[in-house]
């Protein structure tokens, strides 16, 4: 799982499918989502899709750009375009299915 910054964000989502978790260290549900992404989602999608995180406190411009109003916010990008957006804690199976639908 990659931590993205404004400097590398566009290049990271430009090709293929990428699930991006917009989060913050002070967000309880965000803290609960991280192990789900690390232990369940990223391994299930390995080699097929990327999983990345954006700290909204450190990358406010990205949060504004994508209209992030609540976190955790999960955006699925395909070749640089947002295909789906989910807000709040999500089950691993729901995240995997959503990313697979974009593949």
Q: What is the pTM of this model?
A: 0.97
Q: Known catalytic residue: 59?
A: no
Options 17, 19, 30, 96, the catalytic residue: 30
At 4-40, the pLDDT tens digits run 999 999 999 999 999 999 999 999 999 999 999 999 9
Q: Known catalytic residue: 27?
A: yes
Options 27, 44, 87, 102, the catalytic residue: 27
Residue 60: predicted pLDDT: 97
Residue 46: predicted pLDDT: 97
Instruction: Give the alpha-carbon dihedral of 24, 48, 93, 39, to 10 degrees.
Output: -60
- CA dist 69 and 57 (Å) reads 13
Task: Report which of 21, 4, 32 is spatially closest to residue 73, judged by C-alpha positions.
Answer: 21
**Domain locations in the chain as residue ranges:** 2-102
Phi, psi at residue 79, to the nearest 5°?
A: 50, 45
CATH architecture for the domain at 2-102: 3-Layer(aba) Sandwich (3.40)
Report the relative pairing of strands 73-78 and 17-23 from DSSP bridges. antiparallel
């Amino acid at each position: 799982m990659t931590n993205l910054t404004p400097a590398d964000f566009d290049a990271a989502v430009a090709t293929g499918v990428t699930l991006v978790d917009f989060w913050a260290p002070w967000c309880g549900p965000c803290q609960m989502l991280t192990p789900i992404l690390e232990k369940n989602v990223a391994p299930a999608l390995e080699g097929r899709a990327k999983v990345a995180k954006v700290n909204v406190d450190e990358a406010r411009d990205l949060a504004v750009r994508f209209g992030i109003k609540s976190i955790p916010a999960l955006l699925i990008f395909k070749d640089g375009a947002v295909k789906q957006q989910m807000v709040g804690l999500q089950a691993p199976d729901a995240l995997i299915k959503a990313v697979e639908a974009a593949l």
